[in-house]
Amino acid sequence: MPQVRFKPINKNTAESNGATPARKPSEQALEYVDVGFGVAPRLAEAIRKRVEQLRDPSTREQELKTLQQQVEKVRNPSTRDAELETLRKRLDAEVEKAKAEGPERRRKATEQFVEQAKKARKRVEPTYKKHVEPTYKKHVEPVYKQRLEPTLKKALERV
């Protein structure tokens, strides 16, 4: 499987010798995350489409012939290199599309996650205030004040 390569991001970064400076690791990591967010839905859609085509009797025969032809081209030593190059180009094109879609999908996923967290907090907070907070004040806080605070004061006086 070919490795995915990323082009450097240029943001007013031309150095005096014309070379582009190295990107920050955080930028590289974010780019990888974006590709992941872009690839997953594209891959799922491609699989869904292929399965639908294979389930449909009217398109199944043609799909199987196409797959068989691709396999034969890869197996044949005279056409293998050209077919692999074609597949690499298709993969690179799909990865580029995923890179373009990734940031938006990541933002949407982050927004959904934050919204779910807010809903969970609204659901849990009343229980916390009703049960956990009073229990903490009744059982934990006195022990803290009785045992830890004097010990901390003594330690701070020594320092």
What tens digit of pLDDT does each residue of 137-154 get?
Answer: 999 999 988 988 899 999
What's the pLDDT tens digit per position in 17-27? Answer: 555 567 788 88
pLDDT exceeds cutoff 90 at 75? yes
- 12 within some domain: no
Spatial distance between the Cα atoms of 2 and 143, rounded to a whole number of angstroms: 61
- 136 within some domain: no
Q: Give the helix/strand (H/E) hosting 40.
A: helix 25-55
pTM: 0.53
- Domain tally, the chain: 1
> Residue 8 — left, alpha, or beta (φ > 0 → left; ψ -120 to 50 → alpha)?
beta
Spatial distance between the Cα atoms of 11 and 137, rounded to a whole number of angstroms: 53
Q: Categorize the per-residue pLDDT at 6 as very low, low, confident or very high, splitting at 50, 70 and 90.
A: low
pLDDT exceeds cutoff 70 at 10? no
Q: Which residue has the tokens 């450097």?
A: 8
- 104 within some domain: yes
Average pLDDT (87-101) is: 91
Report percent pLDDT > 90 for the chain.
57
Q: What's the mean per-residue pLDDT of the chain? A: 86
Does residue 15 sit in helix, strand or coil? coil
Spatial distance between the Cα atoms of 120 and 82, rounded to a whole number of angstroms: 53
- 65 within some domain: yes
- 112 within some domain: yes
pLDDT exceeds cutoff 50 at 127? yes
- 93 within some domain: yes
- 138 within some domain: no
Average pLDDT (123-140) is: 91
Q: Which domain holds residue 60?
A: 25-124
What's the pLDDT tens digit per position in 33-69? Answer: 888 889 989 899 999 999 999 999 999 999 999 999 9
pLDDT exceeds cutoff 90 at 11? no
Spatial distance between the Cα atoms of 74 and 79, rounded to a whole number of angstroms: 7
Average pLDDT (84-112) is: 92
- 140 within some domain: no
The reported pLDDT for the residue numbered 5 is 59
What's the pLDDT tens digit per position in 110-120? Answer: 999 999 999 99
